[in-house]
């Protein structure tokens, strides 16, 4: 019997994955990553693969996720077990940047919130979300990787003062983009009219925006998060919105997805929520699946994945 590759993603078609991998492996849809004859996994961000899962996958050789973020993969544990792990970085940089900037403009100009007030309350004035001028407003970017840079270029083009914080990026590299670097996170938060999150989620960035950081934000500022919900302490964010310390927020990511409808975020004031849509466009829709399948196929054939996250220890 041929070695198996498990597909753990409700949106990925088995036929497409099989065609991308070829006939050397049998692709099967599964709910759980387990099996003595499983050599590869194609996963989505909802599927955790780490030490516990490795115990049920004695012949696993490669894991590929159809996402840019990879906080659901224990890369160190996989590498130590001799397993390749890869993501699909870069496939939707433009889309996420455009979505984040669109939400930032939406909040500053109040378009969605004013529309909601007109429809729900018959309001016909600006009091529900007084529009602000975009040019001259300060856009604060937390995380200055590929997407953060794409956001910065758009903010500069709109005439905004763009500032960025990233502990891993030298100030000179930030300045090359026409952006003002901040050495400390709280300094950025105190200066920005709207803050947008673009950091990877890991142990050091989880709840990067905690209660103290949110309290340091400029009174009346806005927050945009199109990265990972875990970057923000949602209890503290809800408190800041209800108290009026923050004027509003726009979220493309929630702690629990898909949303069930009873999330506390749905009751927060001045909050815009989109359904984890920042990555999407017709051009990007199939790209993460193609890249992930190609990387998995390369690893199973004895090559190196293009988007490998770490070189595994050979067993």
Annotated catalytic residues are: 228, 257, 276
Nearest-CA neighbor of 141 among 182, 103, 107, 175? 182
Dihedral sign, Cα of residue 29, residue 78, residue 296, residue 292? positive
CB 192 within 8 A of CB 63: no
Q: How many C-beta neighbours within 10 Å does residue 123 have?
A: 15
Dihedral sign, Cα of residue 21, residue 26, residue 29, residue 32? negative
DSSP state of 127: T
Pairwise CA distance, residues 24 & 301, whole Å: 9
3-state secondary structure (DSSP) of residue 225:
strand
How many helices and strands in the chain, by DSSP H and E? 11, 13
């Amino acid at each position: 019997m041929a070695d198996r590759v498990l597909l753990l993603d409700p949106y990925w078609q088995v036929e497409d994955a099989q065609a991308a991998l070829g006939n050397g492996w049998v692709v099967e849809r599964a709910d759980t990553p387990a099996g003595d004859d499983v050599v590869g996994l194609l996963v989505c961000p909802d599927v955790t693969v780490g030490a516990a899962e490795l115990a049920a996958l004695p012949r696993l050789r490669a894991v590929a996720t159809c996402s840019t973020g990879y906080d659901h993969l224990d890369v160190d544990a996989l590498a130590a077990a001799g397993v390749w792990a890869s993501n699909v970085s870069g496939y939707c940089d433009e889309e996420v940047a455009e979505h984040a900037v669109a939400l930032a403009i939406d909040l500053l100009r109040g378009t969605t919130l004013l529309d909601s007030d007109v429809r729900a309350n018959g309001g016909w004035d600006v009091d529900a979300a007084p529009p602000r001028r975009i040019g001259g407003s300060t856009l604060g970017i937390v995380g200055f990787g590929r997407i953060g840079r794409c956001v910065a270029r758009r903010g500069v083009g709109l005439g905004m003062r763009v500032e960025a914080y990233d502990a891993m990026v030298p100030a000179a590299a930030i300045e090359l983009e026409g952006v003002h670097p901040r050495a400390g996170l709280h300094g950025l938060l105190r200066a920005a009219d709207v803050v947008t999150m673009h950091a990877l989620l890991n142990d050091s960035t989880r709840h990067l925006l905690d209660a103290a950081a949110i309290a340091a934000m400029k009174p009346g500022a806005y927050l945009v998060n199109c990265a990972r919900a875990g970057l923000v302490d949602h209890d503290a964010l809800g408190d800041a919105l209800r108290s009026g310390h923050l004027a509003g927020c726009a979220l493309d990511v929630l702690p629990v997805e898909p949303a069930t409808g009873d999330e506390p975020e749905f009751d927060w004031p001045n909050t815009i929520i989109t359904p984890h849509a920042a990555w999407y466009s017709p051009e990007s829709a199939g790209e993460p699946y193609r890249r992930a399948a190609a990387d998995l196929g390369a690893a199973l054939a004895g090559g190196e994945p293009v988007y490998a996250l770490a070189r595994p220890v050979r067993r």
